[in-house]
């Protein structure tokens, strides 16, 4: 696991956007695995800025998002379809039909989950998977105690995840209780994984993910078993790491820009 500790959220975000753009430059038809949530908003802003400034193109790439709420149509303003359209897809040159999310409004979510898993396999699996980290250790919506070899399926959201995401909904009761999520086994088939986490509220779970035992109690800890994972953190998210000096010895922090 490569652990990169940045002084600020801004430089951590630039680092992640840079890794994505570098991958597209090397591999224009890469299959990207994408995430939603607050952490990713700045990454998409940065990618849009790079698209405008440098012309980096997503036209040959494909994307598969991690998850979608069950019960929300793609045009529901709180759906992850809407999030991705508004915050990323509408601003860059992805080709219609090459961006994929599960359908939260599918008549049979079990069938939809199987269809989505099969579509990822048919695309050759994910080349570069972008992940955020839930404060309870989830990746995608794989909540604690998820099978570490699970495939795309329906998960019941924990109350803490519903509380964390309530800010996107008009009332707490509107937050869906179920989601379709890529499984942990699906995520682990990705060639490369980049996880981004910010803030003191993630520091405890970041330490468990990197330095704790591999356990379904902290689903993100399975990333210790993947060969190509880069974890990008800001100072606050890194603050509970016991081996922080070691990570900074291996990958020295980028110096703060002179003011």
111-140 mask for ligand F6R (x: CB under 6 A)? ---------------------xxx---xxx
Active site annotation includes 143? yes
Q: Helix, strand or coil for residue 153?
A: strand
Strand-pairing partners, residue 4, are 232
Q: Which stretch binds ligand F6R (CB under 6 A): 16-24, 36-44, 92-100, 121-129?
A: 36-44
Nearer to ligand F6R, 67 or 105 (CB): 67
Length of the chain equals: 259
- Taking CB under 6 A as the criterion, the residue among 37, 104, 109, 183 binding ligand F6R is 37
Structure tokens at 179: 């989601």
Should residue 35 be labelled a site residue for ligand F6R when binding is judged by CB under 6 A?
A: yes
Sign of CA dihedral 189, 190, 194, 195: negative
Q: How far is the CB of 109 from ligand F6R (least distance, A)?
A: 17
Q: Helix, strand or coil for residue 10?
A: helix
Nearer to ligand F6R, 8 or 57 (CB): 8
How far is residue 187's CA from residue 181's CA, in Å, rounded to a whole number? 10
How far is residue 48's CA from residue 92's CA, in Å, rounded to a whole number? 6
How far is residue 70's CA from residue 87's CA, in Å, rounded to a whole number? 21
Should residue 230 be labelled a site residue for ligand F6R when binding is judged by CB under 6 A?
A: no
Active site annotation includes 136? yes
Active site annotation includes 67? yes
Where along the sequence are the contacts to ligand F6R (CB under 6 A)? 35-39, 66-67, 132-134, 138-141
Active site amino acids: 67, 136, 138, 143
């Amino acid at each position: 696991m490569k652990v990169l500790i940045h002084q600020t959220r801004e430089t951590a975000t630039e680092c992640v956007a840079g890794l994505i753009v570098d991958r597209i430059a090397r591999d224009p038809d890469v299959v990207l695995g994408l995430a939603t949530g607050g952490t990713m908003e700045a990454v998409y802003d940065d990618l849009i800025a790079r698209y405008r400034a440098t012309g980096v193109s997503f036209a040959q790439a494909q994307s598969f998002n991690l998850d979608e709420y069950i019960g929300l149509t793609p045009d529901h303003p709180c759906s992850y379809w809407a999030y991705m359209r508004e915050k990323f897809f509408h601003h860059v040159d992805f080709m219609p039909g090459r961006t994929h999310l599960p359908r939260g409004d599918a008549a049979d979510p079990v069938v939809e989950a199987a269809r989505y898993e099969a579509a990822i396999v048919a695309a050759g699996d994910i080349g570069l998977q972008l992940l955020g980290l839930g404060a309870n250790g989830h990746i995608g919506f794989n909540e604690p105690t998820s099978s570490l070899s699970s495939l795309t399926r329906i998960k019941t959201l924990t109350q803490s995840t519903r509380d964390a995401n309530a800010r996107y909904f008009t009332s707490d009761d509107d937050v869906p209780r179920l989601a379709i999520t890529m499984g942990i086994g699906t995520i682990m088939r990705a060639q490369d994984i980049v996880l981004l986490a910010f803030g003191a509220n993630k520091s405890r779970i970041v330490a468990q993910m990197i330095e704790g035992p591999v356990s379904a109690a902290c689903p993100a800890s399975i990333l210790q078993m993947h060969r190509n994972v880069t974890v990008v953190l800001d100072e606050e998210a890194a603050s509970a790491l016991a081996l922080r000096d070691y990570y900074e010895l291996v990958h020295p922090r980028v110096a703060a820009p002179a003011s």
